Structure 1
Amino acid sequence: MTAQDAAVEGTSTQEHGPTAGGKRALRLALIVAVLALAVDQGSKALAVAQLTPGERMPLLGDLFGLSLVYNPGAAFSLGSGATWIFTIVGLLAAVMVVVFAVRLRGARWGVALGLVLGGAVGNLVDRLVNPPSFGQGHVTDFLAYGNLFVGNVADVFIVAGVGLVCVNLLLPTPRTTAETDRTDPAS
Protein backbone atom coordinates (compact mmCIF):
# COMPACT_ATOMS: atom_id res chain seq x y z
CA MET A 1 0.00 0.00 0.00
CA THR A 2 1.38 3.41 -0.92
CA ALA A 3 1.21 6.45 1.30
CA GLN A 4 -1.34 7.95 -1.12
CA ASP A 5 -3.58 4.85 -0.87
CA ALA A 6 -3.30 4.97 2.89
CA ALA A 7 -4.33 8.63 2.95
CA VAL A 8 -7.44 7.77 0.93
CA GLU A 9 -8.35 4.97 3.33
CA GLY A 10 -7.52 7.07 6.40
CA THR A 11 -4.85 4.68 7.65
CA SER A 12 -1.09 4.79 7.87
CA THR A 13 1.20 2.62 5.80
CA GLN A 14 2.73 1.39 9.06
CA GLU A 15 -0.49 -0.46 9.89
CA HIS A 16 -0.26 -2.55 6.70
CA GLY A 17 3.38 -3.43 6.36
CA PRO A 18 6.68 -3.69 8.14
CA THR A 19 8.22 -0.45 9.25
CA ALA A 20 11.73 0.59 8.21
CA GLY A 21 12.84 -0.29 11.75
CA GLY A 22 11.15 -3.68 11.41
CA LYS A 23 12.96 -4.33 8.14
CA ARG A 24 16.28 -3.42 9.79
CA ALA A 25 15.54 -5.69 12.76
CA LEU A 26 14.61 -8.52 10.39
CA ARG A 27 17.76 -8.00 8.31
CA LEU A 28 19.94 -8.01 11.45
CA ALA A 29 18.09 -11.05 12.84
CA LEU A 30 18.71 -12.96 9.60
CA ILE A 31 22.41 -12.04 9.56
CA VAL A 32 22.84 -13.10 13.20
CA ALA A 33 20.85 -16.29 12.53
CA VAL A 34 23.00 -17.26 9.54
CA LEU A 35 26.17 -16.67 11.55
CA ALA A 36 24.80 -18.63 14.53
CA LEU A 37 23.75 -21.48 12.25
CA ALA A 38 27.21 -21.61 10.64
CA VAL A 39 28.96 -21.66 14.03
CA ASP A 40 26.56 -24.31 15.34
CA GLN A 41 26.86 -26.63 12.35
CA GLY A 42 30.63 -26.10 12.16
CA SER A 43 31.07 -26.93 15.84
CA LYS A 44 28.92 -30.06 15.46
CA ALA A 45 30.96 -31.20 12.45
CA LEU A 46 34.16 -30.64 14.41
CA ALA A 47 32.77 -32.55 17.41
CA VAL A 48 31.76 -35.50 15.22
CA ALA A 49 35.19 -35.55 13.57
CA GLN A 50 37.23 -35.22 16.79
CA LEU A 51 35.23 -36.88 19.59
CA THR A 52 34.40 -40.51 20.27
CA PRO A 53 30.73 -41.08 21.19
CA GLY A 54 30.27 -41.74 24.89
CA GLU A 55 33.78 -40.71 25.97
CA ARG A 56 34.12 -37.58 28.07
CA MET A 57 36.98 -35.11 27.68
CA PRO A 58 37.12 -32.91 30.82
CA LEU A 59 37.88 -29.25 30.22
CA LEU A 60 37.07 -27.82 33.68
CA GLY A 61 37.33 -30.93 35.82
CA ASP A 62 33.92 -32.45 36.41
CA LEU A 63 32.12 -29.11 35.83
CA PHE A 64 32.41 -28.88 32.05
CA GLY A 65 33.70 -31.07 29.27
CA LEU A 66 33.09 -32.53 25.85
CA SER A 67 31.09 -35.70 25.30
CA LEU A 68 29.56 -36.61 21.93
CA VAL A 69 26.00 -37.91 22.14
CA TYR A 70 23.08 -38.03 19.73
CA ASN A 71 19.89 -36.81 21.38
CA PRO A 72 16.56 -38.07 19.97
CA GLY A 73 14.51 -35.89 22.33
CA ALA A 74 14.40 -32.38 23.68
CA ALA A 75 16.31 -31.01 26.67
CA PHE A 76 17.42 -33.77 29.03
CA SER A 77 16.34 -36.29 26.31
CA LEU A 78 12.68 -35.74 27.18
CA GLY A 79 10.23 -36.98 24.56
CA SER A 80 12.72 -39.17 22.74
CA GLY A 81 9.88 -41.20 21.23
CA ALA A 82 8.29 -38.14 19.59
CA THR A 83 11.18 -36.69 17.59
CA TRP A 84 8.90 -35.67 14.71
CA ILE A 85 6.97 -33.37 17.06
CA PHE A 86 10.19 -31.47 17.86
CA THR A 87 10.80 -31.08 14.13
CA ILE A 88 7.40 -29.44 13.69
CA VAL A 89 7.83 -27.30 16.81
CA GLY A 90 11.28 -26.18 15.59
CA LEU A 91 9.87 -25.21 12.22
CA LEU A 92 6.99 -23.27 13.80
CA ALA A 93 9.40 -21.54 16.20
CA ALA A 94 11.58 -20.41 13.30
CA VAL A 95 8.56 -18.99 11.46
CA MET A 96 7.33 -17.20 14.59
CA VAL A 97 10.72 -15.59 15.21
CA VAL A 98 10.74 -14.18 11.67
CA VAL A 99 7.18 -12.84 12.16
CA PHE A 100 8.21 -11.14 15.42
CA ALA A 101 11.39 -9.74 13.86
CA VAL A 102 9.32 -8.01 11.16
CA ARG A 103 7.03 -6.43 13.75
CA LEU A 104 9.71 -5.27 16.18
CA ARG A 105 12.47 -2.79 15.59
CA GLY A 106 15.94 -2.08 16.78
CA ALA A 107 19.28 -3.79 16.91
CA ARG A 108 18.62 -5.26 20.36
CA TRP A 109 15.62 -7.17 19.05
CA GLY A 110 17.38 -8.15 15.86
CA VAL A 111 20.28 -9.71 17.76
CA ALA A 112 18.03 -11.45 20.32
CA LEU A 113 15.69 -12.92 17.73
CA GLY A 114 18.58 -13.80 15.42
CA LEU A 115 20.21 -15.87 18.17
CA VAL A 116 16.96 -17.71 18.88
CA LEU A 117 16.35 -18.27 15.16
CA GLY A 118 19.90 -19.47 14.48
CA GLY A 119 19.78 -21.90 17.39
CA ALA A 120 16.34 -23.22 16.50
CA VAL A 121 17.33 -23.75 12.87
CA GLY A 122 20.62 -25.37 13.94
CA ASN A 123 18.79 -28.07 15.87
CA LEU A 124 16.10 -28.29 13.17
CA VAL A 125 18.79 -29.06 10.56
CA ASP A 126 19.96 -31.97 12.74
CA ARG A 127 16.41 -33.30 12.97
CA LEU A 128 16.00 -33.08 9.19
CA VAL A 129 19.33 -34.56 8.02
CA ASN A 130 20.73 -36.75 10.81
CA PRO A 131 19.93 -40.46 11.18
CA PRO A 132 17.71 -42.34 11.68
CA SER A 133 15.43 -40.60 9.13
CA PHE A 134 14.25 -37.29 7.69
CA GLY A 135 12.38 -35.28 10.33
CA GLN A 136 13.32 -37.75 13.07
CA GLY A 137 17.07 -37.18 13.20
CA HIS A 138 18.94 -37.04 16.46
CA VAL A 139 20.50 -33.75 17.54
CA THR A 140 24.28 -33.72 17.88
CA ASP A 141 25.21 -32.68 21.44
CA PHE A 142 28.73 -32.40 22.82
CA LEU A 143 28.92 -29.72 25.55
CA ALA A 144 28.75 -31.65 28.83
CA TYR A 145 27.66 -29.59 31.84
CA GLY A 146 28.80 -31.66 34.81
CA ASN A 147 26.61 -34.70 35.14
CA LEU A 148 23.48 -32.64 34.45
CA PHE A 149 23.10 -32.68 30.66
CA VAL A 150 24.87 -32.47 27.31
CA GLY A 151 23.96 -29.69 24.88
CA ASN A 152 25.34 -27.92 21.85
CA VAL A 153 26.13 -24.43 20.57
CA ALA A 154 22.59 -24.02 19.18
CA ASP A 155 21.26 -24.48 22.71
CA VAL A 156 23.65 -21.79 23.96
CA PHE A 157 22.41 -19.39 21.26
CA ILE A 158 18.77 -20.11 22.12
CA VAL A 159 19.31 -19.49 25.83
CA ALA A 160 21.32 -16.31 25.15
CA GLY A 161 18.65 -15.08 22.72
CA VAL A 162 15.81 -15.72 25.16
CA GLY A 163 17.84 -13.97 27.86
CA LEU A 164 18.23 -10.94 25.59
CA VAL A 165 14.50 -11.00 24.83
CA CYS A 166 13.86 -10.80 28.59
CA VAL A 167 16.31 -7.91 28.93
CA ASN A 168 14.68 -6.13 25.95
CA LEU A 169 11.28 -6.47 27.57
CA LEU A 170 12.61 -4.74 30.70
CA LEU A 171 14.36 -1.89 28.85
CA PRO A 172 12.46 1.10 27.51
CA THR A 173 11.94 1.15 23.76
CA PRO A 174 13.10 4.36 22.08
CA ARG A 175 10.28 6.19 20.34
CA THR A 176 10.58 7.37 16.76
CA THR A 177 9.75 10.89 15.63
CA ALA A 178 6.64 9.63 13.80
CA GLU A 179 5.31 8.03 17.00
CA THR A 180 5.99 11.20 18.97
CA ASP A 181 4.14 13.28 16.37
CA ARG A 182 1.05 11.01 16.54
CA THR A 183 0.85 11.04 20.34
CA ASP A 184 1.87 14.65 21.04
CA PRO A 185 -1.30 16.80 21.39
CA ALA A 186 0.77 19.91 20.61
CA SER A 187 1.41 18.76 17.03
Structure 2
Amino acid sequence: MTAPGPDGLPRCVWASSSPDYIAYHDNEWGKPIRDDHGLYERVSLESFQSGLSWITILRKRPAFRQAFADFDPRVVAKYGQKDFDRLMADAGIVRNRAKINAAITNAKALLAMKPGEFTEFLWSFAPEERPAPKTSEDVPAITPESIAMSKALKKNGFVFVGPTTCYALMQATGMVNDHLADCISR
Protein backbone atom coordinates (compact mmCIF):
# COMPACT_ATOMS: atom_id res chain seq x y z
CA MET A 1 0.00 0.00 0.00
CA THR A 2 1.30 3.41 -0.89
CA ALA A 3 0.93 6.70 0.96
CA PRO A 4 -0.11 9.95 -0.67
CA GLY A 5 2.43 12.76 -0.70
CA PRO A 6 1.49 16.40 -0.15
CA ASP A 7 0.52 16.53 -3.82
CA GLY A 8 -1.89 13.62 -3.30
CA LEU A 9 0.09 11.25 -5.54
CA PRO A 10 0.68 7.69 -4.31
CA ARG A 11 4.27 6.87 -3.38
CA CYS A 12 6.09 4.09 -1.57
CA VAL A 13 5.24 4.51 2.11
CA TRP A 14 8.80 5.42 3.17
CA ALA A 15 8.92 8.24 0.62
CA SER A 16 6.11 10.37 1.95
CA SER A 17 7.58 11.27 5.33
CA SER A 18 9.66 14.29 4.27
CA PRO A 19 10.31 16.57 1.29
CA ASP A 20 13.87 15.17 1.07
CA TYR A 21 12.54 11.63 0.75
CA ILE A 22 9.92 12.67 -1.80
CA ALA A 23 12.54 14.32 -4.02
CA TYR A 24 14.91 11.35 -3.68
CA HIS A 25 12.15 8.84 -4.36
CA ASP A 26 10.73 10.67 -7.35
CA ASN A 27 14.01 11.66 -9.00
CA GLU A 28 16.64 9.08 -8.05
CA TRP A 29 15.65 5.91 -6.22
CA GLY A 30 15.36 3.01 -8.60
CA LYS A 31 16.67 4.88 -11.63
CA PRO A 32 19.40 2.89 -13.38
CA ILE A 33 22.98 3.98 -12.75
CA ARG A 34 25.42 2.42 -15.17
CA ASP A 35 28.77 4.09 -14.61
CA ASP A 36 31.65 3.27 -12.27
CA HIS A 37 31.73 6.73 -10.67
CA GLY A 38 28.00 6.83 -9.90
CA LEU A 39 28.01 3.29 -8.56
CA TYR A 40 31.08 3.95 -6.41
CA GLU A 41 29.28 6.90 -4.83
CA ARG A 42 26.21 4.76 -4.12
CA VAL A 43 28.26 1.87 -2.69
CA SER A 44 29.99 4.37 -0.42
CA LEU A 45 26.78 6.06 0.72
CA GLU A 46 25.00 2.74 1.29
CA SER A 47 27.96 1.61 3.40
CA PHE A 48 27.84 4.82 5.43
CA GLN A 49 24.10 4.30 5.91
CA SER A 50 24.55 0.91 7.56
CA GLY A 51 22.89 1.10 10.98
CA LEU A 52 21.56 4.61 10.36
CA SER A 53 18.49 6.14 8.76
CA TRP A 54 18.83 6.87 5.05
CA ILE A 55 17.53 10.40 5.67
CA THR A 56 20.70 11.07 7.68
CA ILE A 57 22.88 10.13 4.71
CA LEU A 58 20.66 11.95 2.24
CA ARG A 59 20.86 15.18 4.19
CA LYS A 60 24.63 14.84 4.61
CA ARG A 61 25.22 13.91 0.97
CA PRO A 62 26.49 17.37 -0.08
CA ALA A 63 29.05 17.25 2.74
CA PHE A 64 30.01 13.69 1.78
CA ARG A 65 30.54 14.78 -1.81
CA GLN A 66 32.76 17.64 -0.71
CA ALA A 67 34.71 15.51 1.77
CA PHE A 68 35.27 12.68 -0.71
CA ALA A 69 36.17 14.73 -3.82
CA ASP A 70 32.74 14.14 -5.36
CA PHE A 71 33.41 10.42 -4.90
CA ASP A 72 36.10 10.35 -7.56
CA PRO A 73 37.67 6.93 -6.87
CA ARG A 74 41.00 8.04 -8.40
CA VAL A 75 41.28 10.77 -5.75
CA VAL A 76 39.85 8.80 -2.82
CA ALA A 77 42.15 5.83 -3.48
CA LYS A 78 45.12 8.12 -2.78
CA TYR A 79 43.82 9.30 0.59
CA GLY A 80 46.38 8.89 3.34
CA GLN A 81 46.48 9.47 7.08
CA LYS A 82 46.10 13.25 6.74
CA ASP A 83 42.93 12.78 4.69
CA PHE A 84 41.63 10.16 7.12
CA ASP A 85 42.20 12.54 10.05
CA ARG A 86 40.44 15.33 8.13
CA LEU A 87 37.45 13.06 7.49
CA MET A 88 37.29 11.93 11.12
CA ALA A 89 37.13 15.61 12.15
CA ASP A 90 34.42 16.52 9.60
CA ALA A 91 31.12 16.94 11.48
CA GLY A 92 29.29 17.19 8.16
CA ILE A 93 29.70 13.46 7.45
CA VAL A 94 29.32 10.24 9.43
CA ARG A 95 32.61 9.95 11.31
CA ASN A 96 33.05 6.21 11.58
CA ARG A 97 36.55 4.75 11.18
CA ALA A 98 35.44 1.52 9.54
CA LYS A 99 33.14 3.29 7.08
CA ILE A 100 35.74 5.91 6.12
CA ASN A 101 38.33 3.16 5.65
CA ALA A 102 35.79 1.27 3.53
CA ALA A 103 35.32 4.22 1.16
CA ILE A 104 39.10 4.40 0.66
CA THR A 105 39.58 0.63 0.39
CA ASN A 106 36.68 0.31 -2.04
CA ALA A 107 38.07 3.07 -4.26
CA LYS A 108 41.32 1.10 -4.51
CA ALA A 109 39.43 -2.13 -5.26
CA LEU A 110 37.43 -0.40 -7.99
CA LEU A 111 40.61 0.98 -9.57
CA ALA A 112 42.06 -2.53 -9.71
CA MET A 113 39.36 -3.22 -12.31
CA LYS A 114 39.32 -2.02 -15.91
CA PRO A 115 37.15 1.05 -16.66
CA GLY A 116 33.52 -0.06 -16.88
CA GLU A 117 34.23 -3.45 -15.36
CA PHE A 118 32.87 -2.44 -11.95
CA THR A 119 29.56 -1.46 -13.54
CA GLU A 120 29.26 -4.67 -15.52
CA PHE A 121 30.29 -6.67 -12.46
CA LEU A 122 27.60 -5.14 -10.23
CA TRP A 123 24.88 -5.32 -12.87
CA SER A 124 25.65 -9.01 -13.45
CA PHE A 125 23.86 -9.64 -10.13
CA ALA A 126 20.63 -7.91 -11.16
CA PRO A 127 17.84 -10.45 -10.79
CA GLU A 128 15.21 -11.18 -13.37
CA GLU A 129 12.18 -8.94 -13.14
CA ARG A 130 9.66 -10.10 -10.56
CA PRO A 131 6.09 -9.03 -9.80
CA ALA A 132 5.69 -5.57 -8.30
CA PRO A 133 5.45 -5.61 -4.50
CA LYS A 134 1.99 -4.68 -3.24
CA THR A 135 3.08 -3.69 0.28
CA SER A 136 6.32 -2.83 2.06
CA GLU A 137 6.23 -6.28 3.62
CA ASP A 138 6.66 -7.74 0.12
CA VAL A 139 10.06 -6.01 -0.23
CA PRO A 140 12.95 -8.15 1.00
CA ALA A 141 15.98 -6.87 2.90
CA ILE A 142 18.28 -9.42 1.28
CA THR A 143 18.01 -11.77 -1.67
CA PRO A 144 20.12 -14.61 -3.07
CA GLU A 145 21.49 -12.08 -5.58
CA SER A 146 22.51 -9.59 -2.88
CA ILE A 147 24.20 -12.37 -0.93
CA ALA A 148 26.11 -13.40 -4.07
CA MET A 149 27.02 -9.77 -4.83
CA SER A 150 28.32 -9.27 -1.29
CA LYS A 151 30.49 -12.37 -1.44
CA ALA A 152 31.87 -11.47 -4.87
CA LEU A 153 32.63 -7.89 -3.85
CA LYS A 154 34.48 -9.08 -0.76
CA LYS A 155 36.43 -11.57 -2.86
CA ASN A 156 37.48 -8.61 -5.03
CA GLY A 157 38.78 -6.59 -2.06
CA PHE A 158 35.69 -4.53 -1.19
CA VAL A 159 34.68 -4.11 2.44
CA PHE A 160 31.57 -3.04 4.39
CA VAL A 161 29.36 -4.50 1.68
CA GLY A 162 27.08 -7.01 3.39
CA PRO A 163 24.00 -8.53 1.74
CA THR A 164 21.63 -5.88 3.14
CA THR A 165 23.87 -3.05 1.91
CA CYS A 166 24.11 -4.74 -1.48
CA TYR A 167 20.35 -5.10 -1.74
CA ALA A 168 19.85 -1.44 -0.85
CA LEU A 169 22.38 -0.63 -3.57
CA MET A 170 20.45 -2.77 -6.05
CA GLN A 171 17.24 -0.91 -5.19
CA ALA A 172 18.79 2.56 -5.30
CA THR A 173 20.54 2.03 -8.64
CA GLY A 174 17.71 0.40 -10.56
CA MET A 175 19.00 -3.16 -10.56
CA VAL A 176 15.67 -4.10 -9.01
CA ASN A 177 12.40 -2.20 -9.08
CA ASP A 178 10.92 -2.24 -5.60
CA HIS A 179 8.52 0.65 -6.11
CA LEU A 180 5.17 -0.61 -4.89
CA ALA A 181 2.63 -1.68 -7.51
CA ASP A 182 0.52 1.47 -7.22
CA CYS A 183 3.41 3.93 -6.75
CA ILE A 184 3.67 6.79 -9.26
CA SER A 185 7.31 5.84 -9.91
CA ARG A 186 6.48 2.27 -10.88
TM above 0.5, yes or no, is no
Structure whose alpha-carbon radius of gyration is higher: 1
Instruction: Report the structure, 1 or 2, having the larger helix content.
Output: 1
Bigger RCO (CA 8 Å, 6+ sep): 2
Q: TM-score, normalised by structure 1?
A: 0.28
